[in-house]
Structure 1
Amino acid sequence: MTRLPKTARAALSPTTLHKLPDGKHADGGGLFLFVRSNGASRRWHVNAGGKTHSIGGFPEISLSVAREQALKIKGSLALGIDVKPKTLKTHTLGSIAETVHDNRVWGNEKHKAQWINTIKTGVPDLYDRDISSIEVAELETALLKVLKKTPVTGRRLRQRLSDIWDKAILMKLVTLNLPDALKKTLEQGTPKVKKGHHAALDWRKAPAFYQWLAQDDLSMGKLALRFTMLTAGRTKETLLAKWSEIDGKLRTVPDTDMKMGRTHLVPLTAESLKVLKLAKAHPHAEKGYVFQSPRYGDKPLSDGAMLALVKDRDKKLFPNHFTPHGFRATFKTWAKETNVAREEVIEACLAHATNDAYDRSLYMQEREQLLTKWTKYLTS
């Protein structure tokens, strides 16, 4: 590191730069830090050759780097080299995150928005920092804070930060992927997530629960949950359903909305079409998503809407815990217990991948018959 002359040093200290009040704070030799907006803006400048030259912002530009740049500018001017005022370009964590985000192909707008928001809300204090200045300890502290509160979100955040650091390595801004290096330490410092099956409602109680949902035709959440039960689909498939995907008695779910990444055809029974008609007549109905958010007209219903209905159920009638996703298990268990269809047809309704790479059958007629029987059972 370049050492400044004794007369130009020791005015400012790296440990106190964050605490300086608004104003001009000299370091010596023409270098000064200009603080304004209650400390929100901190920028380095150097007076040389009768002009003020901007060096860059703090903390992106550290005190030692600012001193080096000040000397370079003064040296260039002494040699007669013209120096135009400029700001050193910094690569913040946020700018690299946005580059990774913009260059990625997204399956849907919701996931696209969630990805970048996870970074902004997960490590807000680091978002505008020069990625090369971020220390291991502060990144670990930020990640542990999220992991201890919400382990699933924390693990997702660490993986996304890892992608950002990979990009920074390719840009030769850093040499080590800090999120990857911290993986083992973070796992040891946070509770393990118990993995298991989604809790499901006993298939014998499914009709009673469906009838409870059907009592209210004005609840968009209940309409969405009814449609989920009737089609044996994933909640994501229901929430992202668009009117453009409905053609008569058939819904075509695009591959981007499917877990397996393959287009899925869903036969629609008379009851399913009834639910769709009610959704279209809903006060919050729009032309885009079938199940619109009552709060945000251009957005689909949130994940929590159906989950809230399950949580608010009558605990006397349905004492055991279950989840909206668990209705897929309820459907399959009913189908197996009552022996109403072949295994292949049941799996096709659930859009599950088969082990037979040569089996490309859709079983549309049998699937329509199976969902019709399931609908009749639910509405009985």
Structure 2
Amino acid sequence: MYKKQKEPNLIGAGWQPLNRDIDLNYLWETWLNNPWEVSHKAMNVVSYIADALGREHYAWWANFLNLFYETTREEIDEFWNFITPEPLTPDNRYRDSLSIETPVVKSVTRDLIPIEQVLLKLEEITIFRLLSFLGRPDLITQYSTGKYFYYPPEKFVEWNKLKSIGSIFAYWSEHEIWLRIDPLYSMDRDRRYTIMAKKLAPLVNKVTYDLAVMLSGYQSRIGQVHSQFAINSFPADVQSFTDAVQEKVFTQNQLAVLVYGNPGTGKTVWAQAVAKEILAPLGYIIFILDHAAVENFVPPSYLERVCIIINEADNLAPDRSTEIAQSNYKTERILSLLDGTLYQSVIDESGIQEQQKLVVLMTCNTTERLDPAMLRKGRIDLMCEFAHQFV
């Protein structure tokens, strides 16, 4: 009884039955691969039709109507589905994917908000920005109660307004991107959205260019990077250093910058200005991390360009020869982050390693308290002392 109620619900919501068209090449290949199965199913259909039309105790018109009886129709549909290709669905060519269960709700506890929860929210924002950028798909289908349905693309308005009983599939031919929407039967989750493509990073880069993420306990949030001062408002020597930083951004995949000086010399606001004026327009997502977040943070692999801002790095990576640093494991963490060994040391199973562009901007009051390993050649690319009182 429940099965019969589903189909009208979809049709009433604007979905239409999807008629599978005959494909002669597919039919020929099916016959060559399994002629006995094709013959067997064809004979079953002929037998059902003969039985429906050959009843002796019924009028001819009653026998004709019997062709549309559910059992006969199911047999005919089964045969038709066997000799016709299924509608398009994603295949293994689409190796890149983003998937999220929505809605992602930030819950605050007495402990710090987990980094994973903020990153899930970032992924949700990224997916819905991608869908907004892609616009109306070329194909929308749904499989339910053993049948395929399609939703006319010209009638499409919003994804959350599409009635979903089974899995919904959508396809954009220009970008070769698939979307799959699965209904969830959960108290706090509505649907799972999964985007699949041969290569997602360039499109993700387009839709996330202005995003910034602050990971700092209760104050963790996602928005846009804020800068109080423009780069051209800094002293001439700082502007000259900024030009060097910008040049390295264009020529290196990984860049680490350290600025140091007394409090009030503009180190933090300079890092924010560089992030806003130079890196964000190039497609970098900005992550501003406190010391607790650094310990557990790995840049999301689906992002093509990432900038990490770490303030007061001398407190984060103190000299390990001092007694106070003996129990501080963050030094090793930030060293592996600067080396790229933490998350770039394993090549993909396919043998292809796409290097993520990473810029790390660090500030500190003095380099004297930093662990010497931080300052070794190859870890910090550019350093500058801020000597002018700015703020």
Q: Which bin holds the TM-score, normalised by the shorter protein?
A: under 0.3
Which of the pair is proportionally richer in strand?
2
Q: Which has the higher helix share?
A: 1
Whose relative contact order is higher, 1 or 2, with alpha carbons under 8 Å and at least 6 apart?
2
TM-score with structure 2 setting the length: 0.25
